[in-house]
Amino acid sequence: MESAPGESDAFWEGRWQSGHTPWDHGRPAPPFAEFVQNEGAPTGEILIPGAGSGHDVRFFAELGARVTGLDIAPSAIEVAQARNPCPGARYMLGDILNPAPELHRQFDWVVEHTCLCAMEPKFWPAYAAAIPKLLRPGGHFLALFYRNPHDDAGPPFGIDEATIESLFEPRFSLLKAGVPKQAYESRAGREELRLYRLSD
Ligand SMILES: C[S@@+](CC[C@H](N)C(=O)[O-])C[C@H]1O[C@@H](n2cnc3c(N)ncnc32)[C@H](O)[C@@H]1O
């Protein structure tokens, strides 16, 4: 029997080993392209937790950033590394809920896409506590929240506005928020992109 999602890396490793990865659309998240068109490309060091096969990692690396894709499943790392090599992209095995000390304060940006919604809500406070530890002073958290998945039984677990605010707004200032116009067809109108800056 599979482990419950978030209880163990065995659940996600099993998904990658079986090839059952329905979230993977074979390309980066369209809201990030829209963000770059409107705001410019993030620069410096970017961390993407739960990076899966690395589409978003390669997207930002091809724009000039140095991007680390972190994933808890060894097979996800293997899949990502087997894709088109990209000079600014690297992949690391690790748990965003317990990030290695050498990652602390190493990043200008953390980019969230379908990692938070992959975890049971009881793990969200630990996720929210980890992000500020990873950022340099003044760093940014660009988060594509899955507000309204098709099915209540996660993963993915949908998140509401009050929960987003209680998790992140104690440590971050909100700079921008909106429903992206560009999205995977199945997620159109169901996501919200928020840009936060780490408070002093
Ligand atoms: C739904 S998939 C999304 C993958 C990728 N972001 C995408 O959209 O294609 C969630 C990913 O998060 C990884 N993951 C789950 N829990 C994690 C954790 N605690 N730390 C790091 N990665 C995790 C899983 O192995 C999986 O690759």
Residue predicted with more confidence, 96 or 5: 96
Residue predicted with more confidence, 9 or 196: 196
Find out whether the beta carbon of 49 lies less than 6 Å from any atom of ligand 1.
Answer: yes
CA distances from 167 to 30, 48, 123, 128, 131 (A): 25, 18, 11, 6, 11
Find out whether the beta carbon of 72 lies less than 6 Å from any atom of ligand 1.
Answer: yes
Distance CA 52, CA 60 (A): 15
Q: What is the pLDDT of residues 108-138, one digit of tens each?
A: 999 999 999 999 999 999 999 999 999 999 9
pLDDT at position 7 is 54
Q: What is the pLDDT of residues 140-159, one digit of tens each?
A: 999 999 998 888 788 999 99
**Domain residue extents for the chain:** 31-198
- For the chain, give the mean pLDDT: 94
Find out whether the beta carbon of 97 lies less than 6 Å from any atom of ligand 1.
Answer: yes
> What kind of architecture, by CATH, is found in domain 31-198?
3-Layer(aba) Sandwich (3.40)
Q: What is the pLDDT of residues 1-17, one digit of tens each?
A: 344 444 568 999 999 99
